[in-house]
Structure 1
C-alpha cells in the first residue's frame, strides 16, 4: 500500500487517524506514521494491496486490517496500546485494554520477504511490550520485556524492525505483565502472505482469535486473576449473537484461520463440510499431508488454518464443540433442577424474592426464548434468534452463510437461507407410530425430586441416636 490517504480512511466504516508524539530509536527523525483507530465492532472490507506483490487479503471477524505506509524499503505500521471499550454483543460492553481503539487489535498483513517496521506507542497506565508470536526474527525484536528489550514505559514509543521470513499465520500479544494484559484483551492477528501470488491462493480468507473473559453480572472490567472459570467465551472479543457470519460465495475456495489465546483448548467444528487442515503456527502443511476433519482442536497458544470448497449452500453452524463455550455469562455454581418439581417451593421463594422464576426442571432450553430481567450490562446465557426460533446458543458460535451469485468482494450478511421446498425437517402428522422397542431402564430407587420449603421449627424429631443436624 502507498502512503496513507486521510480522506480514504476517515470515510471507511468508523476508521479515524490519530497521530502520536513521542518516539525512541534511530528512526526518530523520520516521524511516525499515523495510527488508524476504530471503535466499531463490525467487520471491515478487505484491504487490497495497491503496490507490491498481489495477494488475497484476509477478512477479520468483527475487525479490520491495519493500514501501513511505504517508507523506502520498509513497510511501516503503528500500533497504539490503550484502554478501549468493546461491545461484546448488543446489550453488553466491556472496559478492556487493546490496540488502536479495539480488542483484539487490528490485523497486520504483510508479504513474505517484506521489511516491516512497527511503531508501538504505550498509552496504558503501566509498561508493555509486544511479542510477535511465531515470527522468525532477531532476538532483540522478539518482544519479551526485561529479557530481549527494555519494557515500553507509559507515554513512550518503541520500534520493532524485522524481515518476514516465511508466510503463514501468526499473532501478536504482550510479554509484559502478560497475565493482566492478555486477560484485559490485548492481542491481535498477524498474517504473512506468500511472495508468489498463486501459492496457497484462496477466494476468501477469514481470521479470528479465541479469547475469554470473566466479567461479573452488571460489571464492566474482567477479573484478571481468573485461571479457569471464565464466563464469556469469545471470538475476537465478541460473543454470539454478536459474532459476524462468515459470508461465502458458492464455489469459492475458503480458508479459515484462528488462534487460541484462552486458557484451554477448543475443538472448532463446522457443519455441512469436511475440510483439510492446511496450516499450523509452525507453517503450512504440505499439500499431500493435509488431513481431512470436520473438527480441529487448537491448544493454548496455537494457530490453525483449514480450507474447503463452498459447494453446499445454506446456513452452516461453526462453533467450539465444548458445549459450555457456546454459552454466555455462565454461573458455575448454578444448581441442576432437572426432574425437580418446584411447584410448591416457587410461591414460598417469591415471597422473599419477588419476580423469581423457577427454571431448569425440564432442561435449560426455555432460557433461549424467555427474556428475563437482567442487571444492566449483562447478557443472557442463551440468546440469538434465527428464522425458526431461538438458537439457544451464545459464546463461541457463528454461521457460515454460503450463497450463489455473490460478488467477489461482497461480505454483507445475506439474511437467512431460503431452503428449497421439501428440504427442512418437519413434524410428523401421519398415522400414529408403533412404540419402538427399548430396553427396560434400571430402577434407581429414587423418584423425581420435589423441593419443599420446610419450616426448621417444625422439622421432624429424629429417633434416638440420630444426628439432628445432618
Structure 2
C-alpha cells in the first residue's frame, strides 16, 4: 500500500477484556499493534485479504483501509484519534481532527463472524470515545462516553472487543463531544464482508462518507458551531476537483457505498445508468425487493449502497443533486445581480479599486473559466477543467470512468474518454437560420427593459414624484 507507514506490528497479546477498558503501562503497550498512518490524499489500492475467507476489498475514495494483525482468533486493529492536516483540494488545506493521519480515518474491513479487537489511542486535547454505528455488540462496547463506558482521556488507550454478527455497510464516529469532534472531521467507514465469498459479490466496491465544513476564506479551522450554512460540501473531506474518479472496467459489477454525517440529506445522482439499491446500514435489500433508481437520497446518519453493471463506456458524472452542494467556498451573503446593468457602478468602483471586475449580471458560469486572485488557502466557488473546458462544479462531484481493457486491480485514472466519432453534442452550423417561431403570451418576460439596481442613496418616489416618507424598521430595536 503506497505511502503507508506500517512500522511493524509488535509482539503478541492474549489480552481479553470484558469491556471497553483502558490499556496503560509499559508491559501492556508491548502487546499493542502499532498504528499505521497515511500521508497521501489519493485513493489507495484495496487491501487484499491474506488470511481467512476470500472477499473483494473496498476502494476508499481518497482514502485507504487499515491493516490488521491476527492474534490467535482475534483480528486486531489500532486507531489513533489525533489532529490532522487534510488537503481538501489542491490549493487548500484544513486543520482537522481524524484518525491515523487523515480525516476521515481509515476504512476498517473484516468478515462476518470475525472477532475484532480495536485499540483506540487518544491524542486529542480532550476526551473521546468511538461508536460503531450499526453494529450489534455488547452494550459496554457501543462507545457512548459516560453512558456505556468511561470517556477515553487524552493520552490513554482503550480496547473494544466484539464479534461481527452481520455483514453490511457501517461507519464509526465519536460519541464524546460529538458536535465538535464530527464537525472537525472525525469519522470512518466500517465494512463487514459476507462469510460466503459468493454472496452479493461485485468486481469493484467503492466507499466514502459525506461530510461538510464551514471554513472561512484564508482560515484553516472549521467553525464547529455552524448548524446549516456550510460552505464546503465534501466526500471524505475532499471537494471537486480534489475528489478522485471511480475507475471501473466495462461490464464490471460495481457497488458504491456511502454514509451521511452532515447536517442535511443528500440525493446522490449518477448519470448514464439506472442502479439497484442493494444495502443500507440496516442490512442487505432482498434482490426481489430491490428497486431501480438514478438518484438515491441518504438522510443524516444513514448508509446507502447501490449496484450496477458498467456496460456504458464514458465519463459519467456522479454528484449530490442539491445544486449548492456542488459549489465550493460559497459566500452566503453575496447579492444576486442577474439582469442588473453594473457598467456605471463598475467604473466608479474601479477608480478606488483598480482591477475590479463586475460579475453576476449574466449568471455565475463565467467564474468556472476564470482564475481570479483568491485569498490564501481557499478555493473558487466552481472550478475543474475537462477535455471540453471548465466543468463549473465543486463540492460533492466526481466522475465514474468506465473503460475497456482494465486489469482487475487497476484503479489509475485513465484520463478523459475518447468519444466515438459522431457521439458528441455539436454546434449547428451552415446557412444562416431564421428565428424559430415562438408562442407569445400577455407577458413573456422583461422584453427590452433592463433590470436596474436600486441606489440606496436616492429616496423612493411616490406616484406624485415626491420622496416617500421614511418607514421605521420594525426590528430596529433588536
Which TM-score applies when normalising by structure 1?
A: 0.93
Q: Distance in 2 between matches of 1:232 and 1:38?
A: 23
- After superposition, the Cα gap between the structure-2 partners of 1:184 and 1:237, relative to the gap in structure 1 and judged at 3 Å, is same
> What secondary structure does 1:289 align onto?
coil
Secondary structure in 2 matching 1:172 = strand
Note if 1:193 corresponds to 2:193.
Answer: yes
Partner of 1:448: 450
- Is structure 2 residue 289 aligned with structure 1 residue 300? no
Q: Counterpart in 1 of 2:150?
A: 150
After superposition, residues 12-27 of structure 1 pair within 5 angstroms as 12-17=1-6, 24=23
Unaligned runs of 5+ in 2: 11-20, 473-478
**Cα distance 1:20–1:123, how it changes in 2: closer, same or farther (>3 A)?**
farther
* CA 179–286 in structure 1, closer or farther in 2 if over 3 Å, else same: same
CA distance in structure 1 between the partners assigned to 2:406 and 2:466 by the alignment: 80
> CA 1:139–1:321 in structure 2 vs 1: closer, same or farther (change >3 Å)?
same
Kept in 2, the 8 Å contact 1:20–1:121? The answer is: no
Matched, 1:256 2:256: yes
Partner of 1:416: 416
Distance 1:165 1:25, change over 3 A: farther
d(CA) in 1 for partners of 2:291 and 2:403? 26
Shift of 1:350: 1.9
Give distance in 2, aligned partners of 1:349 and 1:19: 62
SS at match of 2:23: coil
> Is the alpha carbon distance of 1:434 and 1:455 closer, same or farther for their aligned partners in structure 2, counting shifts above 3 Å?
closer
CA contact (8 A) 1:239 1:396 kept: yes
1:449 positional shift: 1.9
Please state whether the residue corresponding to 2:55 is helix, strand or coil. coil
Structure 2 match to 1:46: 46
Shift of 1:93: 0.2
How much is the aligned-residue C-alpha RMSD, in angstroms?
Answer: 2.3
Partner of 1:360: 360
Structure 2 distance, partners of 1:19, 1:155, is 21
1:4 alignment partner in structure 2? none
Q: Distance in 2 between matches of 1:93 and 1:245?
A: 20
SS at match of 1:287: coil
Q: Which digits, 9 at most, give the CA deviation of each residue in 1:375-427, with x for residues without a partner?
A: 00010000100000000000000000000000000000000000000000000
Does the CA contact (< 8 Å) of 1:169 and 1:280 recur in 2?
A: yes
Query: Which residue does the alignment assign to 1:467?
Result: 469
C-alpha distance 111-336 of structure 1, shift in aligned 2 (>3 A)? same
* Separation of aligned partners in 2, 1:237 and 1:373: 24
Question: CA offsets per residue over residues 300-323 of structure 1, 9 Å max, x none?
Answer: 000000000000000000000000
In structure 1, stretches of 5+ residues that fail to align are: 1-11
State which drifts further: 176-185 or 24-33. 24-33
- In the alignment, the residues of structure 2 paired with residue 249 and residue 113 of structure 1 have an alpha-carbon distance, to the nearest angstrom, of 31
Partner of 1:327: 327
Task: Check conservation: 2:81, 2:100, Cα contact below 8 A.
Answer: yes
Q: CA deviation at 1:288?
A: 0.5
The 10-residue stretch of structure 1 (420-429 or 354-363) with the greater mean CA deviation from structure 2 = 354-363
Match of 2:169 in 1: 169
In structure 2, C-alpha distance between the alignment counterparts of 1:25 and 1:164, rounded to whole Å: 26
**Which whole-Å CA distance do the structure 1 matches of 2:8 and 2:351 have between them?**
59
Counterpart Cα distance in 2 of 1:28 and 1:325: 47
1:7 is aligned to none
Report the secondary structure of 1:28's partner residue. Answer: helix
Q: CA–CA distance in 1 between the matches of 2:420 and 2:55? A: 36
User: Which residue is 2:440 aligned to?
Assistant: 439
Q: Which moved more, 1:266-275 or 1:344-353?
A: 344-353
1:91 aligns with 2:80: no
- Distance in 2, matches of 1:41 and 1:265, equals 25
Q: 1:468 to 1:23 in 2, by over 3 A?
A: closer
Q: Quote the Cα distance in structure 2 between the aligned partners of 1:173 and 1:36.
A: 19
Q: Is the 8 A contact 2:122 2:156 kept in 1?
A: yes
Q: Equivalent residue of 2:98, what SS?
A: strand
Using the size of structure 2 for normalisation, the TM-score is 0.92
Contact 2:460 2:468 (C-alpha < 8 Å) held by counterparts:
no
Q: Residues 345 and 451 of structure 1 are in contact (CA less than 8 Å); yes or no, is this contact kept in structure 2? A: no
Q: Which residue in 1 is equivalent to 2:13? A: none
After superposition, the Cα gap between the structure-2 partners of 1:267 and 1:455, relative to the gap in structure 1 and judged at 3 Å, is closer
Partners of 1:189 and 1:181 in 2: CA distance: 16
- Inter-partner Cα distance in structure 2 for 1:379 and 1:349: 25
Q: CA deviation at 1:34?
A: 1.3
Give 3-state SS (helix, strand or coil) of 1:35's partner. coil
| 2: CA distance, partners of 1:454 / 1:227 | 32
Change over 3 Å in CA distance of 1:454–1:336 after alignment to 2: closer
Q: Distance in 2 between matches of 1:429 and 1:254?
A: 40
Q: Secondary structure at the match of 1:288?
A: coil
Distance 1:205 1:464, change over 3 A: closer
3-state SS of paired residue (1:179): helix
